[in-house]
Structures are given as C-alpha cells and as structure tokens.
A = this chain, B = another copy of it.
Amino acid sequence: MLNVGIVGLGRMGQRHAEQLALRTRGARLAAACSPVESERAWAQRELGVSALYDDFAALLRDPQLQAVAIVTPTTLHAEQTIAALEAGKHVFCEKPLALEVAACERVEAVARRHPELVAMVGFVRRFDRHYQEAKAQIDAGRVGRPFLVRSQSCDMNDPDGFFVRFAPTSGGIFLDCSVHDIDVARWMLGKPKALRVFASGTIALHPGLAACGDVDNGLAIVEFEGGARGQFYASRTMAHGFDTNTEVIGTAGSVSVGVGGQRDRVQSRDAAGVHHRVLVDFVERFSEAFQREMTAFVAACTGQAAAPLALSDATEATRIAVAITRSLNSGQVEAVV
C-alpha cells in the first residue's frame, strides 16, 4: 500500500484526490495540502484524510508518505517536484512540468540524482485506451511510416470566460492545451527532434486575453527532424462541446482518435434531421484515463511496472510549446531550442 500525499485541491486536485482515495488499488491518500481551509476540510470530510497541511514543506516532512501528487498552479510544478524528490518522495506532477525549459531541465537533473524515485508528468492521453489502441496499430505497422500528426484540443466555450482569469499564469493556450497534442505527436511519431515551429492565433470571443498576449484559437505547425510534421489546433470557443482529437497519417494508412466527440450512444431524429450530443469537457472524456494514469503511477512507485513516461518527455513538450508560444508572439518562424 503506497501512502500518497496530494498538494493542490482545486478542480483537478480534487479529482486526483478522489482517484487516490477511492479508486486506485494499492494506494492510500494519506495526506493533503492546500492553503484553502475549505479544501482541506473537504478532503477530511469526503475522503477521510486525517493528515492535513497548509504548507507544502510540512507535507514533505510527513514520514508516512512515499509519494506526492502535485496538482498546483503550473508556476509551482517544477520547484515542488524538485523539493519532493529531494525529500525522497516519488512524484506525480500535473502537466505541464514548467513554462520554461530551464526549469524542466533543473527537475531532470535532480531526478537523475534520484534514480530510485519515480517522477512522472500527467500526460493523460498516454493512458487513454483509445490513444493506446491507435498507438498499438501504429506500432503494428498498420499506417506504414507515420509522418504527420494533426491534433487538436478544443474546449467548449465558457461564456463566463472563467479561463481568462488564469491566462496570465497558464503560459498561454499552447502551453496549457496543445502541450497534450505535442506529447501525443512525439509519442506517435517515435520521439523525433523538433526543429522549427510557426504559430498563429486569433481572438474570437474573449478580448480579455489580449492583455496577456494570449488567444482563444491557436494554430501551429511543427517541423521535426527527418521530415515528420505536426499540425496543432487549440480552441477555447467551441460551441458544440469538447472536441479533442488526433489523426496520425502514415505512408500506408492513417488512424484517428476521438473524431466526432460523441457523448453517448444515443442518436435522435426529428423534422430537423439527425442529431447527437458531444462531450462536455475533458473530465467526461478522460475520466477512465485519469484512473488508469494514477494506477500506472502507483504501479511504477511500487516497482510493479516501469514508469510509462520519462521526465524528458515533459521537457520536450514544454520546449516545443515554448517555441510555439514565442512564434505566436513574434509572428515569425522560431527554432526549437
């Protein structure tokens, strides 16, 4: 039984906390840390967590913990991961690992000094059975040599523009959303080195984003060494729902994941035609994958399975997303450095 402490009990943090407390075999949610009193009370009341902290350093000193799940704002990810590793804890950290490459590399350096510890970043699509099926088909040669990944992360529009408030610290649409697509592209293409990027964006519905240089619809092209290409689209303004999908094109075929975004197995017909509903958000789409992700983390911590992602995957995803973001700002092609 792995004793895990969680830091961060916001929307995503609560989900991960529930996974650990209720649905992850071999794990026990032994401690929780949040600066918000009501969040700590929630963990105690709903999940029975008794060790509660308002200070991350204090949580790290809790001797019962073997692992930590970091679900705090992105700007804290890297330093908290470093601190946890140095405290001898396995680390699960939500994506992205950091908004700067240098921070990612500092984490990697610390992790290299602790080869006995698992450090894993939450690229949840790696644990989604649909993405895994696509990857299996690619590995089996069914698309020939994959050379193009087209991938999108499109959220249903929130008329209240809730996310606008987080824009200043999110790193922008590409670091916040496309980082998933970037990781998927690297995974599907066999981890080629990214060379150059170009990005362009527009503000369709949320002018408040302009203040921090962000957009609500962004397009990017990534050139990889060896000729492979990535094409990414991220949107905050979909009218119809959460529409996140990926297509991998190869010399002998292609495979797609998630196209259509059907919410359920129901179809309606009336005088206006045929209709179906679309997924509402990433929680609905990836709930099973979140569960499998945490199970994989626990299995890696307890030595039952290898860690499914390397920290360098997170570094490379940030490296590419940072270059894309730089291109969005400069309006020019940018090298991936």
Q: Is A307 on the interface with B (CB-CB < 8 A)?
A: no
- How distant is the Cα of A134 from the Cα of B205 in the complex, in angstroms? 22
Known: A148-B202, A274-B260. A237 touches B223 (CB 8 A): no
Q: Which of A142, A240, A270, A274 has the most CB of B within 10 A?
A: A274
Chain A interface residue number, banded: 35 or more
Stretch at the interface among A9-17, A52-60, A275-283: A275-283
Inter-chain contact B229/A269, CB cutoff 8 Å: no
Q: How far is the CA of A100 from the CA of B44 in the complex (A)?
A: 52
Given the known inter-chain contacts A233-B231, A266-B256, A269-B239, please indicate yes or no for A217 contacting B147, CB distance below 8 A: yes
Among B229, B277, B331, contact of A219 (Cβ-Cβ < 8 Å): B229
A303 neighbours in B (Cβ, 8 Å):
none
A residues with CB within 8 A of B? 129-130, 133-134, 137, 142-145, 147-148, 150, 196, 198, 200-205, 217, 219, 221, 223, 227-229, 231, 233, 235, 237-241, 249-260, 262-278, 331-333
What would 16 more interface pairs be, CB under 8 Å, given A200-B221, A203-B227, A273-B277?
A130-B265, A142-B268, A144-B239, A145-B204, A196-B331, A198-B333, A204-B227, A217-B229, A219-B221, A239-B251, A239-B269, A240-B253, A253-B268, A255-B268, A259-B265, A333-B333
